Structure 1
Amino acid sequence: MPSLAIISEKSFPGTTRPAVSDLVAYCDTHDLVAIAAETHDVVIYRITGHAAFTIKRRNGEAEVTALKWKQDGSVLAVGWNDGTYGLHSGETGRLLSQGSVRGGGREREWRLDLMPDYGDDEDDEGGPVVTQFGWEWHATSVSNGVRGDSNGNDSSLTTEDWCDGAEEDPDHLNAIASLVDGNERDAILALTTNISALDVITVLPKLSAIPSHGLRAAPDGNKFGTQAITDTVFASPGVKHSNVDALLICSSDGHVQVLQDETVKIGTVGVGSKPVMHASCKSSACHSVLCQDDTGELHANFIDLPLHTLGGSLFDVIATNTKRIQNLLAYITQTIRCIQHDFTTGLQFPTRIMTNMNAELAEKQEGDVVTNLYHLAMTSDFTPTMLEWLVDIVKETNHKRWDQAVNAMYTNIHNHLFFNLLPALNRLSIATTTLRGHARFHEGTSNFEAPPALFTQMLEGIDSLRLVAQKMQLLIMTEHRQFRAFSKWTRVMIEIGVAGPGSTGAIETEEREVPNFDYPLLLAYIQDTLTRSQLTRHIVQPTLLQGTRASRGMFFAHPFMEQLGYERTKEALRRLGEVKLGEEFQWTEACDAEALVNLPALGVGLAASVRVAMESVAVWQGKMLTAPTSVAVGAAPDAVVLDLRMEPHVGGEAGRSTTTVLLLSPENTAQLLVLETAHSARVSRDEALTTGSRTIGLGYEVLDASFHALQPALIALVRDEAGGSLLLRHSLPSAQDNDDTEITVLHTFPPSSDSGFEPQKLVIGGRPGKMVCVVFGNEGREWRALDLDFVERGGDGGGAVTTEEFMEDGDGGGDAEMSFA
């Protein structure tokens, strides 16, 4: 009996649910299999059957709705039934970014605080979910009906063309080399492209990771927990104008989000019905989305991407800085949250001790702790209550905890300001200034329609935050010196109290330690800082702004938002410096003067400015997308969609591609229906589509089938008369060849009564020389991984191949090589 080499056999403790093919995704580059487990987690296995890592869902009730690997294996996209989706590292499974396809047409709420969004809102329960992901890495050198010669060069470019980034030579090195050959046009194109790609941020030191010190990180905050992750988030993309990294997110309500570089949203198009499958190819600007309406009718929708615009130098700079601004805003927001957390936790213990002491002193009518400590520092005279408090309550153990907590608080906040916040603000200023410069240069044209004033408003918020952060640095240095003097004095007072005031030991301690006290700092701390640090007004968000949610109009009509501005923050800080000790900070011209110097409040203002600017950019980007071209697929309404692929048209016509749908015939389960649709980009709808079909009879009941990724063939899993199963290879004839083609039996599965394995579904993946067919059976509890290239490599049929043999054969890296392009 014909048999392929078995790479591995795997049994699972529960159902992995491969009955829905989208819930199993094969990583061609690294031979990894992502499976939606019964526990609602996503488990990633190596082809050997060993678990590599697991992606856990915080919400235990959520189920997976879609899985898809990026081509290079660097990212795994996961969709959940609560409408959210996450992009996870293909190496570790950590969350890189997340989003949602829900909203019901409503505007996302505007918040006047920095509370993170953990995705707990269930107002849209039962709303749309992600059904398909579509990754593609396009080369913009592919011409799709644009002017130019056969090589994609345009001999009619003018100075205005290359200034606006209308079209560029995709190969920068060849263009520069052409200068030697005297081709000035290519040299100018290369020069302008590389000048536009100059990135000042690349010469700056790397941003540091953000230590959370126990703070529950928001989804965005998870991206900055370690230095390696932070470096990855802010890695410079370099010069890549010749490529467009596109991601399509298809939702069940018939909408498709188009993203570039995984996080830059280009826009959304409607396909009319629920997407069931996606296909694309590098050499075409077109993406095919197969949809099924409520009646079961299938429609192929073709979405054309403006590759030459998306891959141009102008859009590359805009997309790079847009993505950078979003990441930097998340970084700044997480830093402010960490500062708030460190301030709160650092004062918890000393506040509790002093609160209890104040209650005891009030009961005895002996004043408060500040008055008593000040009296002790000035006179060295212990009252019985203070002696008992220092010796029995504070004592050496609690003093050590007090000292460590406050020292750590000042150190952590200072580090957050110096190593995280200020460097991030500087980088955000550069990115914002870059976009403002392009907005001013292209103002009044369609090249970049975002108003420059939006970026100016962002810069005002950045400068205001920088001023307050610098003021906080000065306060921290002053208060930290004061606290060290207070802590040293308190330790000595405890020693004197333990020895007994007036005793020989106490006198010796006083003579040795008292001359070393810095009384100006000590008294200033007791009087000014002990019960209320001046950092409080800069760190603790005003009560009126906490937890406030509003619509856009209400948000910007809030008195706080109307008073924001760099000059007003600068004036508020100046007036704050004139406020005497014990006086309230008031400014009649401001509705809330303290909010103008408050770090979280200014962070809210900056986040709002960024959101408005990014929405304006998104509106401009969305204008690039055109409505999809749709065609009805000539199949019975209850036909089962097995696979979909797109490839360049056989004739080689530029911008023309062929989409092939593989269907299981509802009338005859021994027949497969192959439908082909040829699509031409950027032409009229009437000329865009031509279709054809053929029926393939296999003679057996078809369980599952899929196209071979590298060959003009399909692989089918069928059931034979004896109750066993066969793996067949059927060559697909070309458009000019309608003759019957050969059917080859690749592998034979014995009846389940003999082997205990009943095949049901298959997944094909791999790369040249290492093609794999993973067959799932027994309701998803087992798999058999088969080497499809076994015969081509000289196999004689039958037997098993070891993991080492499989990894050594053929070209390309195995799962041991986890380097991503």
Structure 2
Amino acid sequence: MSAEPSRLSLFSQSSFPAPVSPELLASSPTLNLAATVTNGNTLAIRRAQGELVSSSTERGLTIQALCWKADGQFLAVAWDDGTVRLVGVENAKVVHRISVSRQTADPDADPEPITYIAWARNLTGRRHFGKDDNDIASRLKTLGLSSSTDGFGLGDADGKGNELVDLPHALTFLEIDSSLPKLSPLPVSGGTGHDMFVFSTTASLESMFAPLKPEDNDVVDVTVVGSRDGSLHLSIYDSFPIGSFKVPIKQGPSPSSSQLAGDFELCLHSYHPEVSTHSLLLRTAGQEKADFMYLVPMDLRFVSYSPVNLSLLASKTTTLQKLLRYVKQTQIHIINEWSSTRELPSRFLSFIQEDLQQKGSGPTSIVQALYHTVLTGHVHRPVKEWLVDSIAERGHKRWEKAVIPGLENLRNLIHQNMLPAIERCTLILSRLSGIARFHEEEDHIGFTNAEITRLVDILSAFNLVCHKVLLIVLEELELFRMFSSWLRITIDRVSSSTVSEEIMEKEALLDPSKILRYIDKYLVSSPMAIYFTKLPQETWNEDWDRVQESSAILDELDDQLKNEQAGKPFMRALPNMAFLVDLLTAKAGDVFQNIAEAEKRSVRFGQAVKLELAPTEAFALVDVKMCLVPKPNGVDGVTYTAVISEENRFDIGVFETKIEIINGISSAPSTAFYYSARLDPHTDSRVIDIKFLNGKVLLALCHSEGKQPYLLRILFRPENPRYQPTQSGIASLSGDAPSSSSVRRMEFAEDLASFVPVRMEVMEADESRGGVPARPSPTADANATTVLDVPPQHVLPVDGRVRVRAERHDPPAPGCPLGPAKDGPHGLADLPGHAALHHGRLDEAAVAAVQRVLVARDEDELLEAREARVDEPQDVDQQRRGYGGNNASLIATRFTCASSAGSQRLNTVRRFASEAMKPSLGPK
């Protein structure tokens, strides 16, 4: 171990005034947000200062797991109903629901508990697997042209702007959605179901329908969800499900190899962006401490190779899914608005209809009576009594307020919400049709041009219905305004014994033809009834079965509407808006299912590797990291699994599993084991947690009772490995004593002897939102956010960030055991508590100072220091917002213990930074 330990300076600390569950606390990788679960099983998202952003709960349900997406846009929340809900960070609303529970024989059985959630981001296509840009660059160089890494740069090697652009790739990802008018938010009231609030704000719509960024053209996001019964659910692009799998524990590389019986649950997952094979670490289901685990390679063939660009296909299909949800919710609003315009007038008319039918003479319907009044000016006695007693001035105002705003809302919903959504659906289907025609000879893309053409046909029929309804709404709105004016004049005329000159002038301005047309066509029944009326289930099912055999829905709809106008029998369900929306959703769902099945067939699980210690010891701490191994025609993967046994808390062992990958398929893995670090057994220090910082450095959080906690920075890879095979199939490193120069001790700057560390978390650096602006000087209030400036010698631009959560406490009373309290419903004491998180930034001057320090340390590091990239200052808007990314390697510590008096509990997150986080630095 290094003789001179590094010092960790306090970077920042923050507090939240809320009791939290320590197992269910997740901090955003890009924003100063933390998601916690309180004692009341309420999900709370807070800013660093403790300000509550949002809180939500599901009645009768319990949260089982939390995980932020790498870009911080979504928080995945697993509930015990077998559903993972994705909460959008921009609006704090549930924007997607992923059902991960498998179908069981007993429909009343409870879903299997969700034990693990992970996000992965892989590079896709031949641009990253196989021929790379270097091959293209060499070909362009022979032609005297320069190349661009992104395919869109302009400017040749001489700077004359004569660059060859990757035109096919640019055309493939050409987006015109941004030129379309943005979708309008839906009203909050009037919707139903889970999506009634999702589309109610502009921020929510912009978050859900964000255009595909150029930098994401060759990227696919994979969501991995593991359940207690060993099932694994995969979905891509947040909401597009691939399917559920039962992870096999195969004893050989071939598909027919024998498998172990029993349930094994997913406990850890690791990936590398440029490796299509992921590593899954499984243990026996239900075990808290396992004495063996299985490492299973999972080959995602659709990542390494796909006949069509996966990111384009997935982004378009997921956008179409969300558009169909938007269309369905808009259709619900339209029907509700139409119903509201008919409800009150129908009640008014029902009173007079009964009176007229009971009379022995005169008109028998309100239409005849009002027709007579418009043409002659004479008002029958029942109608006069109805106008004076039932309607009057107040009733007329209610009638007007029910119809005119309702028709205007109906017009806006169709023109501003439904038709733009139909246009966007048409564009996506056109893109999918082009993909299907280009790959029509390949049956494993999951869909055909005929299926897309059928969707376009249904969408065209629905578009026709929307335009017909819009024309009817516009006409009815114009006619009703004229009818309403006449009705008010008539009420005033029959209510008084004399007719004023003002009433006569107003009556002269009316158009009798429009009044008569409204009375005849719209007063009692509306032409929109055939599009909105709820149908009997028998009629619905009959027409549903009939349209399944129809090859042209648009032509069929046109014929049925002609039959309806001619008074002939027609299919009553086909013109119905809800029927067409459900038909479109069902047929699109079939296409989505076929695409998912095609991608599901390309998921393969390799041979399992059993990881166990000899002699058999239970694993106390485990972490896993996958790294890239380049080769001439592709890449291989190597997975490092760091373990500490329950019986021996002084030795840190590492399993090294090499996985050869050929055409996206992993071969039989080979595993070696060695000890990377060893604590002094004569001390009472023990390792609290271990985490990989990168492919070279392993961090170990250590603590001794009553003493200062510290970190060990371990270069875990052996310099000259010599492995010897053993009977278990896992090779051992000869001479297992780790080198003392590979371990560096890192101490905290201030006195933390009264803290007991319990957990550590590592996150990669992120610059998607810029750096975090400077904050005020330290404050003495323990409950307030505190930020300390980091001295330049402790700051540097590095590749990752480390966080360890903390809880502050008073020294324990005699006999009070150290460690997390267990007497709360979530493992917490039923006492006031605080959760904490904060972000900091590094300035360029500090970065430059560290570079100068590094230059003085080693000549080999001189070039590295010169090439180190210095982040440019963030924009003013980001400074004003007060949050941003994290472009530093930071350490924050979480400690916990009950106080001596048992009356106060404070959770505090402290973060530290040190130049010792530089991965390339080794002790000198």
Partners in 2 of 1:155 and 1:622 — Cα distance?
A: 37
Confirm whether residue 619 of structure 1 aligns to residue 608 of structure 2.
no
Q: Which residue of 2 aligns with 1:171?
A: 149
Change (3 A) 1:726 1:569: same
SS in structure 2 opposite 1:29?
Answer: coil
Deviation at 1:83, TM superposition (A): 1.0
SS at match of 1:216: coil
Deviation sequence 1:325-371 (CA, Å, 0-9, x none) = 21221222122111111111222222233334445556777845444
1:337 aligns with 2:332: yes
The 1:378–1:148 alpha-carbon spacing in structure 2 relative to 1, beyond 3 Å, is closer
Q: Which moved more, 1:469-478 or 1:630-639?
A: 630-639
Distance 1:818 1:358, change over 3 A: farther
Per the alignment, residue 791 of structure 2 pairs with: none
**Matches of 1:175 and 1:154 in 2, distance apart?**
13
For 1:572 and 1:92, locate their aligned partners in 2 and report how far apart those are by CA, in whole Å. 44
Q: How far is the alpha carbon of 1:597 from its aligned partner?
A: 1.4
Report the 3-state secondary structure (helix = DSSP H, G, I; strand = E; otherwise coil) of the residue aligned with 1:53.
strand
Name the structure 2 match of 1:203.
179
Alignment of 1:317-332 (within 5 A): 317-332=312-327
Aligned residue for 2:346? 351
Partner-residue secondary structure (3-state), 1:643 = strand
Counterpart for residue 63 of structure 1: 62
Deviation sequence 1:511-570 (CA, Å, 0-9, x none): 223222222222232233212111011112322279x8xxxxx99973454457211101
Post-superposition offset of 1:488: 0.7
- For the structure 1 residues 692 and 787, does the alpha-carbon distance in structure 2 shift closer, same or farther, using more than 3 Å as the test? farther
2:635 to 650, 655, 659: 655
Percent identity (aligned): 21
State the Cα distance separating 1:470 from its structure 2 match: 1.8
Name the structure 2 match of 1:50.
50
Q: Quote the offset at 1:56 in angstroms.
A: 1.2
**TM-superposition CA deviations, 1:390-444 (whole Å, max 9, x none):** 2333222231121122112221222222222223222222221222232223222
CA distance in 2, matches of 1:67, 1:364: 71
Measured after TM superposition, the shift of residue 238 of structure 1 is 4.4
1:219-618 pair list within 5 angstroms:
219-240=194-215, 243-252=218-227, 253-266=229-242, 268-272=244-248, 273-294=264-285, 296=290, 297-306=292-301, 314-359=309-354, 367-446=364-443, 448-498=445-495, 500=496, 503-504=497-498, 506-544=499-537, 558-559=545-546, 561-562=548-549, 565-579=553-567, 586-587=569-570, 593-618=571-596
Counterpart residue type for residue 655 of structure 2: L
Match of 2:120 in 1: 136
Helix, strand or coil for the counterpart of 1:633? strand
Correspondence 1:704 to 2:688 = yes
Question: Does residue 89 of structure 2 align to residue 90 of structure 1?
Answer: yes
Q: Distance in 2 between matches of 1:446 and 1:10?
A: 56
Taking a change above 3 Å as real, the CA distance of residues 395 and 150 of structure 1, as seen in their structure-2 partners, is: closer
Per-residue CA deviation, residues 158-214 of structure 1 (Å, 9 max, x unaligned), is: xxxxxxxxxxx99343787679999x9x948x12111222334443333333335x1
Tell me how far apart the structure 1 counterparts of residues 439 and 414 of structure 2 sit (CA, whole Å).
36
Higher share of residues assigned helix: 1
Query: Aligned AA for 1:228?
Result: A
**Higher deviation after alignment, 251-260 or 450-459:** 251-260
Match of 2:656, as an amino acid?
E
Alpha-carbon distance change, 509 to 123 in structure 1, aligned in 2, over 3 angstroms: farther
TM norm structure 1: 0.80
Shifted more, 263-272 versus 809-818: the winner is 809-818
Is contact 1:303-1:627 (8 Å) kept?
yes
Distance 2:672 2:49 in 1: 42
1:130–1:249 CA contact under 8 A, matched in 2: no
CA contact (8 A) 1:135 1:246 kept: yes
Q: 1:735 aligns with which of 709, 713, 718?
A: 718
Matched AA of 1:643: D
DSSP-derived class of the 1:621 partner: helix
Mapped to 2, the partners of 1:64 and 1:53 lie a distance apart of 19
The equivalent of 1:677 in structure 2 is: 657
Q: In structure 2, what is the Cα distance between the partners aligned to 1:660 and 1:786?
A: 30
Aligned-pair CA distance for 1:508? 2.9
| Distance apart, 1:96 and its partner CA | 2.7
Taking a change above 3 Å as real, the CA distance of residues 406 and 125 of structure 1, as seen in their structure-2 partners, is farther
Taking a change above 3 Å as real, the CA distance of residues 623 and 750 of structure 1, as seen in their structure-2 partners, is closer
Q: Is the 8 A contact 2:68 2:74 kept in 1?
A: yes
More deviation, 240-249/417-426: 240-249
> For the Cα contact (< 8 Å) 2:472–2:527, is it kept in 1?
yes
Q: Which region of structure 1 is more displaced relative to structure 2, 232-241 or 430-439?
A: 232-241
Partner of 1:119: none
Give yes or no for contact 1:74–1:820 (8 Å, CA) kept in 2.
no
Instruction: Tell me what 2:709 maps to.
Output: 726
Task: Please state how far the C-alpha of 1:455 moved relative to its aligned partner.
Answer: 1.0
| CA 132–609 in structure 1, closer or farther in 2 if over 3 Å, else same | same
Contact 1:101 1:129 in 2 (8 A): no
Question: Cα distance 1:315–1:750, how it changes in 2: closer, same or farther (>3 A)?
Answer: closer
Deviation at 1:216, TM superposition (A): 3.2
Q: Secondary structure at the match of 2:612?
A: coil
1:491 Cα offset (Å): 0.9
Query: Partners of 1:418 and 1:666 in 2: how far apart?
Result: 66
Whether the 8 Å CA contact 2:37–2:43 is kept in 1: the answer is yes
The SS at the match of 1:320 is helix
How high is the TM-score relative to the length of structure 2? Answer: 0.72
Give the alignment partner of residue 746 of structure 1, picking from 742, 745, 748: 748
- Offset of residue 785 of structure 1: 6.0
Q: Is the 8 A contact 1:639 1:664 kept in 2?
A: yes
Matches within 5 A, 1:181-192: 187=164, 190-192=166-168
User: Which secondary structure state, in structure 2, belongs to the residue aligned with residue 173 of structure 1?
Assistant: coil
Q: 1:816 aligns with which of 882, 886, 890?
A: 882
- Contact 2:627–2:695 at 8 Å: present in 1 too? no
Contact kept? 2:192, 2:332, Cα under 8 Å: no
Residues 492 and 181 (structure 1), Cα distance of their counterparts in 2 relative to 1, 3 Å cut: closer
- The alignment of Structure 1 onto Structure 2 pairs a total of residues equal to 746
Aligned to 2:855: none
Distance 1:231 1:125, change over 3 A: same
- Distance (whole Å) between structure 1 residues aligned to residue 157 and residue 873 of structure 2: 37
C-alpha separation between the residues in 2 aligned to 1:519 and 1:63?
A: 64
Please say if residues 679 and 690 of structure 1, whose CA atoms lie closer than 8 Å, have aligned partners that are also in contact: no
Taking the aligned partners of 2:49 and 2:676, their CA distance within structure 1 comes to 37
| Unpaired segments ≥5 residues, structure 1 | 107-121, 158-168, 549-553, 580-584, 588-592, 796-808
Give secondary structure in 2 for the equivalent of 1:594: coil
* Number of the residue aligned with 1:8: 13
Contact 1:772 1:788 survives alignment (8 Å): no
